[in-house]
Amino acid sequence: MLQSKPPWPVPHAMCRTHLLADHSMDWHSFKLLLPLLHLDMVRVLDGQPAGIMVKDLATGQHLMHLEVWHQMMLKYYLVEP
């Protein structure tokens, strides 16, 4: 885990930095690449977006919430006649 120094004084117990294993996700095909398994995240998430959230531990307030969509999810939402 990487620790970075914030630009303002923050007690150590309140400061958390997480290392994202971005190298395991193929964003072009939206597949999670594990050593013995390649998971199609569109099927795993059943067409729902992947969520990324940042929350303030002291107040419980959500600071940021992102939804990651992929074009492969369109088949769940497009209805053919």
Can you give the pLDDT at residue 16?
Answer: 56
Can you give the pLDDT at residue 5?
Answer: 53
Which tens digits make up the pLDDT trace of 2-13?
445 555 555 555
* Total number of domains constituting the chain: 1
pTM of this structure: 0.55
Can you give the pLDDT at residue 1?
Answer: 43
Average pLDDT in the chain: 75
R_g of the chain computed on alpha carbons? 17
CA angle (53 as vertex; 76, 71 as ends), nearest 5 = 25
**Could you list the residue range(s) of the whole structural domain that residue 19 is in?**
12-76
49, 67 contact by CB (below 8 A): yes
